[in-house]
Structure 1
Amino acid sequence: MKKLSLTLGILLFAFASTFAQKISPDQSEVKWTGYKVTGQHNGTVAVKGGELKVKKGVVKEGTIVIDLTSLTSLDLQGEWQQKLDGHLKSADFFDVEKHPTATFTLKEVAVDGDVHKLKGDLTIKGVTQEVAFDSKLKSEGKKHTLEGKLKIDRTKFGLKYGSDSFFDNLGDKAIADEFDIDFKVQTI
């Protein structure tokens, strides 16, 4: 009977250790930087939720949901900040009224030392594109923190406003096609 109990206990522990853990919106953060000919803008956007499944120190599955309605610039204040934030949330860019969230769904992981090379599907404005980037996983007890950086080509998601890849004679009004994301997500 002890042998059966021990076997069931080991199986239950192994099964329970592979459950996906919810991502904490309060302990997660996403920072963005967008570039233009005359400089750059930066800001934050909130993590709405998601899940990570970690087994033996390796991310196995994951989904991260970003709340685009929270998109905020940090390099401007007052009226200028309101104008930029409103424009980024408009149909020219993220169209948050119709598409309030963006989602990343993990498809593949390769581990190289302490680097997790992640590949997955990113959906923005209803358009899904595959993205790949490096990240690092830190674990403390049952909590896991995944951190990384990636470049996103906004035009692949239909965000073409101000892109000199699509419009001529923009001069110093041109906005770079790629923007940077620096993220940290933590499980509960």
Structure 2
Amino acid sequence: MSQLVLAGIDLAAVGLLVFALYFPRHRRRDLAVAYLGVNVGVFAVATSLGTGNVGAGLGLGLFGVLSIIRLRSTELDQHEVAYYFSALALGILGPIAGTSVWVVAALTALVLVVMFIGDHPRLLHRHRRHVMVIDTALIDPVALTAHLEQLLGARVHAANVERIDLVNDTTVVDVRYSRPKARTVRTPVPAGVAR
């Protein structure tokens, strides 16, 4: 009975992770399918390893190899890596934890709450990162930062030059910046007009 409860907790958790958190925020169908498949596959293998004579260390090693191969096969953004490992952790949590259902439920809720808060659109929403190609070869870091701030209309925190092409007069730069707070402009209400 407890295995069915753990399976239910896992399916509900990965459903929330994928369909309530990840997909509405990032809209990548391919990764939604990957997160579901990784979670259910890890849960199934971890459950079978937990009932067999194979040690949990071998199972965790196999999952480590799987994650390295998967992460090297396509380029993922860091938030996608976080969702990937959350789906992996949710799948392995129940079968390997060896604790009560309530502890598994609490740890599952902890993973979901951390992902909800950590990837919330309002958290650090003014801070951005872009890789830009500038049509000027800028070698001086101060001049580069000033140029980027003028282009972006934002405060540049870091500008990592990836490539400078003096022949084609271009600079490829990885820039991290934050936009200023939007100012609300109040329009005066003419006298005698109700608000």
TM-score of the superposed pair, with normalisation by structure 1: 0.25
User: Larger % of helix: which?
Assistant: 2
The structure having more radius of gyration, on CA atoms, is 2
User: Larger % of strand: which?
Assistant: 1
Larger RCO (CA under 8 A, 6+ residues apart) = 1
